[in-house]
Amino acid sequence: MNNTIPGSSKINRWVLVPLILGIVLTAVFGFRAVRSFAQVQLTSLKPGTTDVEAIRGWMTIPYISKMYCVPANYLYKQLNVPFAGNDQKSLAALNQEYFLGQPGAILPKIKDAIRSSKPACQNGTISP
Amino acid sequence: MSSITDYLLTGLITYGAPLFGVALMLGALGIPIPTSLLVIAAGAFSRQGMLSLLPAIGLGLLGTVMGDSLSFAMGRWGGNWVSRRFGGSSVWNSAQTTFNRNSRMAVFFTRFLLTAIALPVNLMAGSSCQFRRFFVTVIAGETIWILVYGGLGYLFGSQWELISKFLSDFGGLALGLAMLGGSIYYFMRKRKEMPVVL
């Protein structure tokens, strides 16, 4: 007695790959989504708040100046980096150029500079 | 974050909306650019006053719709070759028929939910759908994408990286669930269709 479904191996081949991939993706991204959602919940999200730990290598000095209400000239001075020609460069590029590419050398300096400064914002604009 | 993402974020705060539009267009053409992250970041940068909101929305929408239309055109031109190559295959024909039945839904939802498969959907749409219907659906889907993702970035401001991570994971989960649901549905349908010989 033959109790197989004709063509079932063909079905299996076409269904099994996306099925397994679907299970793997659901498990991996389900876990990650729950974890990142919990992270969002734990970090009390206050729009507009800034933390120096959020400074990243892609940021430019003018951007950091605006975000943290610290005059750009002050930041350039603290880093010993000239203003001219550097306003469009990221921290990573400045690190490469002025700190001999030592990984992350610029980050502690800029964080210290922000911590030791007084916020200069008044109604969203930086006072000179 | 990868270096390409870093370059794009630096570019976004330096060059603003024009770079945003170009990046979204390249992303829609299949170049691996983290476009959803850029949209969320653009929302946050608008809130922080680094990016003008309306030009960013306008140029972003223009760029992504242009990219989608170009990939549709690639599907239209490449479609003839694909049909010659795979047209005899029953699996290909069945996939094409299923796609044609649900093409508008597929195009719409892959703009903002299952974004990882947006390019294959554009290519398939190019080989079988009317451009006008595709274009209208794309505008609707991309508008939702830019407004919802950008809106979340705007809403959460400096915490946009966390939101981006969550949405990226959620997108992966949605793709996994879609594959799982699709394969279970396909299996059940085929089982019903096939005569059981005992």
For B143-197, the pLDDT digits (tens) are 999 999 999 888 877 778 777 888 888 888 888 888 888 888 888 877 777 665 5
Share the mean pLDDT of chain B: 86
Contacts of A124 in chain B (CB under 8 A): 49
| Distance separating the N- and C-terminal Cα atoms of chain B | 57
pLDDT exceeds cutoff 90 at B25: yes
Q: Tell me, yes or no, whether A60 and A101 share the same domain.
A: yes
Q: How many residues does chain A have?
A: 128
Q: Given CA atoms B57, B60, B63, B65 in this order, what sign does their dihedral have?
A: negative
Taking an 8 Å cut-off on Cβ atoms, the answer to whether B158 and A24 are in contact is no
pLDDT score for B21: 96
Least confident of A8-12, A20-24, B79-83: A8-12
pLDDT of residue A5: 52
Q: Which residue in the set B10, B165, B198 is minimally distant from A36, CB to CB?
A: B165
Contact A19 B183 (CB under 8 A): yes
Domain ranges of chain B: 3-193
The residue ranking higher by pLDDT, A46 or B133, is B133
Please name which of B177, B123, B131, B145 lies closest in space to residue B36, comparing C-alpha atoms. Answer: B145
Of B91, B183, B198, the CB nearest to A1: B198
Between B95 and A93, whose confidence is greater? A93
Residue B1 confidence (pLDDT): 58
The alpha carbon of residue A53 is apart from the nearest alpha carbon of chain B, in Å, by 11
**Are A3 and B7 inside 8 Å of each other by CB?**
no
Based on its alpha-carbon atoms, the radius of gyration of chain A, rounded to whole angstroms, reads 26
- Report the pLDDT value the prediction gives residue B65, as an integer from 0 to 100: 96
The larger pLDDT score, comparing residue B111 to residue A40, is at: B111
Cβ neighbours for A105, distance < 8 A, ≥ 6 positions apart: A95, A99
Domain that holds residue A12: 8-45
Query: So what's the pLDDT on residue B193?
Result: 73
The answer to whether residues A40 and A68 belong to one domain is no
Distance CA A35, CA A23 (A): 18
Q: What six digits make up the tokens of B25?
A: 């267009």
Which residue(s) pair with A60 in the sheet?
A90
Indicate if A80 and A120 belong to the same structural domain. yes
pLDDT average, residue stretch B89-100: 74
Residues A86 and A116 in one domain: yes
What percentage of chain A reaches a pLDDT higher than 90?
18
Nearest residue in B to A36, CA atom: B166
Share of chain A above pLDDT 70, in %: 71
Does A117 lie in the same domain as A60?
Answer: yes
pLDDT of residue A47: 45
pLDDT above 90 for B24: yes
- A24 CB neighbours in chain B (<8 A) are 176
Whether residue A71 is found in the same domain as residue A113 = yes
Rounded mean pLDDT of A93-113?
86
Residues A62 and A39 in one domain: no
Average pLDDT, chain A: 78
- CA–CA distances in Å: residue B107 to residues A19, B31, B84: 22, 18, 24
Highest-pLDDT range among A106-115, A118-127, B13-22, B180-189 = B13-22
Convert B2-36 to b/e letters by CB count within 10 Å (16 or more is b): eeeebebbbbbbbebbebbbbbbbbbbbbeebbbb
- Are both A58 and A94 inside the same structural domain? yes
Which residue, B139, B119, B125, is CA-closest to B30?
A: B119
Residue A2 falls within a domain, yes or no? Answer: no
* Residues in chain B closer than 8 A to A2 (CB atoms): 197-198
Query: What are the backbone dihedrals phi and psi of residue B187, each rounded to the nearest 5 degrees, phi first?
Result: -65, -45
| A29, A84: one domain | no
> Strand, helix or coil at A124?
coil
> Which of A6, A19, A54 shows the shortest C-beta gap to B197?
A6
Contacts of residues B130-133 at CB distance under 8 Å and 24 or more positions apart, as own/partner, are: B131/B69, B131/B72, B131/B76, B133/B104
Specify if A83 maps to a domain.
yes
Which residues on B lie below 8 Å from A58 (Cβ)?
1, 5-7, 9-10
ipTM above 0.85 for this complex: no
Q: State whether A92 and A121 are in the same domain.
A: yes
Chain A residue with CA closest to B186: the answer is A15
Model pLDDT for residues B96-141, shown as the tens digit of each residue: 777 788 888 889 988 888 788 888 888 888 888 889 999 999 999 9
For residue range A47-98, list pLDDT tens digits in order: 445 678 888 889 999 999 988 888 999 999 998 888 888 889 999 999 988 8
| Residue A3 falls inside a structural domain | no
In a shared domain, residues A58 and A107: yes
Tell me how many domains chain A contains.
Answer: 2
Which pair of tokens denotes residue A116?
A: 């030791």
Mean pLDDT, rounded, for B36-50: 90
